[in-house]
Amino acid sequence: MAKLLGGIATSHIPAIGVAMDQGLENTPYWKEFFEAYPPVRDWLYTQEPDIAIIFYNDHGLEFFHDRKPTFAMGAAAQYENADEGWGIAEIPPVTGETELSWHIVNHLIEHDFDITVCQEMKVDHGLTVPLTLMWPGHKYGHVKVIPVAINCERHPMPKPSRSYAFGKAIGDAVRSFAGDQKVIVMGTGGLSHQLDGQRAGFINKPFDLYCMDKMVDEPELLTCYSNYELVEKAGAQGVELNMWLAMRGALEGEGKLKELHRSYHLPISNTGAGLQLLATDNAR
């Protein structure tokens, strides 16, 4: 059986990608933010995951507002990135995975998640910035990535409870895959932020810290929100919490989780930037 080692949640702010491209990690603005990442990188180095399932939202590179799948996933051997206009240098292609991907696709359809399946799919900063944060210098070629996109861009969006259940179904699919692969799940985006409109710049630190607390043992207290309540509490783009919840849902069948790392830094660009590592008993 394939094994889930744990989950990582991280912000995916494009400015992080630009800062890494320009080598700004040790400048006053960035130092504290980047100092949070080495413990998570060390964990990945020891655990040697074969596959990373990444829950992210596509901000318009592959799916613009005219065609927005609620849930989409890749089943391709490779994924390209492209210029989105944020000033991040284009990254080398991301290695895909087809066997587990198709197993998950079949499992999801059997369990009533009628996803869009992509055999070609450009991946945007929601996926590439976290990947570059985990493996700086684009040294992630050895990890096979399964991109899973959740619509957090255009209403109506999947409910947080549904994103959680979707993640749980993916976790179940991994556990039922006959293979010895070591798998991690990642949830990207958040935490609170609003990029435009009257409340542009809105950040809610107490709510973000509450979410990180509840992610560990009581995620059901977060899945009870509607997306409109999330917008109210965490800003228009605070709905990106859905990806954190999908990641947490994938670990639901793993029993009690160990929180190995947590950091929260604000603001980075317009966002409360969170990082959290939750390990299962399968981790070394």
Please answer whether residues 249 and 168 qualify as being in contact, where contact means their C-beta atoms are separated by less than 8 angstroms.
yes
**Separation of alpha carbons 49 and 7, rounded Å:** 11
12 is known as an active-site residue:
no
- How many residues bind Fe ion (CB under 5 A)? The answer is 1
Residues in region 157-196 near Fe ion by CB under 5 A? 189
Q: Which residue, judged by CB position, is nearest to Fe ion in the bound state?
A: 189
**Separation of alpha carbons 112 and 163, rounded Å:** 13
User: Residue 235 binds what, of ligand DHB, Fe ion, none (CB under 5 to 8 Å, by partner type)?
Assistant: none
Cis amide bond preceding 221, omega within 30: no
- How far, in whole angstroms, is CA 16 from its chain's centroid? 15
**In the complex, what is the shortest distance from the CB of residue 152 to Fe ion, in angstroms, rounded to a whole number?**
7
**In the complex, what is the shortest distance from the CB of residue 282 to ligand DHB, in angstroms, rounded to a whole number?**
30
Name the active-site residue from 12, 59, 107, 193: 193
**In the complex, what is the shortest distance from the CB of residue 266 to ligand DHB, in angstroms, rounded to a whole number?**
10
Exposure letters 80-104 (e unless 16+ CB within 10 A, then b): bbeebeeebeebeebbbbeebbebb
User: Residue 103 binds what, of Fe ion, ligand DHB, none (CB under 5 to 8 Å, by partner type)?
Assistant: none
**Separation of alpha carbons 125 and 104, rounded Å:** 24
111 is known as an active-site residue:
no
Plot region of 197 (φ>0 → left; ψ -120 to 50 → alpha; else → beta)? left
Binding site for ligand DHB (CB under 6 A): 12-15, 59, 189, 193, 195, 237, 240, 269-271
Instruction: For Fe ion, give the closer residue by CB, 171 or 189.
Output: 189
Name the active-site residue from 125, 138, 142, 155: 125
- Active site residues per annotation: 125, 193
Binding positions for Fe ion, rule: CB under 5 A: 189
